[in-house]
Amino acid sequence: MAAGMAFGNSAPDDSPYADEGPYGTPVVKRKKAGLTRRGKVAVAVAGVTIVGAGTIWWNVHQAGVEADRKEATALQIQMKQLELEEMRIRNAQASTDKQAATASAGRLQAAVDKCVKDSADQIGKGYGSPSRSSVVADCKQQYENSDASGMKAAGSAWGTGEDEGGGGINSSALLGLVAGGGLAVALFARKGKKADA
């Protein structure tokens, strides 16, 4: 009887050669562990894509950081220029105030000297006559009151005008104006770059 054949109700023959085909025992190929060729290609493509995208992102990021750094440097340079301009304005104002104070002090001293000279005939003429120091004090008081505007200019020239709220330039307002102008210039420059791009 042929192997693996059964007639009727009898059970199949348990022969050791029951699994043999017409060409003998089939060879079982064992698959190697790991990826197939298609999987290896997919992994390679994914790796190249990730590395390329990472490189592009890094370059874009570095370009953005460099542009921000250059913009911050340019803004700092503009702020320094505005500070220098503010210092020039303050120095010019102080020089003008000092010249006005010097001229006013010269006029005041000339007027006091003339007053003392005119009153010199009354000094020391007897009992009850004024002394030289009292005549000088009276003349100073008289001309200082009449020339109060010149004294105010002298006070602002020597730095007391800011404490009294004098007519000088308010430094915090000027600094705010300068900073606002610098910010406006920076914003317009940035909008111009975006419009060009």
Predicted local distance difference test score (pLDDT) of residue 96: 92
Q: Which residue has the higher pLDDT, 136 or 67?
A: 67
Predicted local distance difference test score (pLDDT) of residue 171: 67
Mark 39-72 as b/e (b = at least 16 C-beta within 10 Å): eeeeeeeeeeeeeeeeeeeeeeeeeeeeeeeeee
- Tens-place pLDDT, residues 15-28: 555 556 666 666 66
Amino acid identity, residue 36? T
Cα separation of the two ends of the chain: 91
CB 167 within 8 A of CB 161: yes
pLDDT bucket at 160, cuts 50 / 70 / 90: very low
Given a cut of 60, is residue 64 above it in pLDDT? yes
- Tens-place pLDDT, residues 174-183: 677 777 777 7
Select the highest-mean-pLDDT range: 15-24, 163-172, 185-194: 185-194
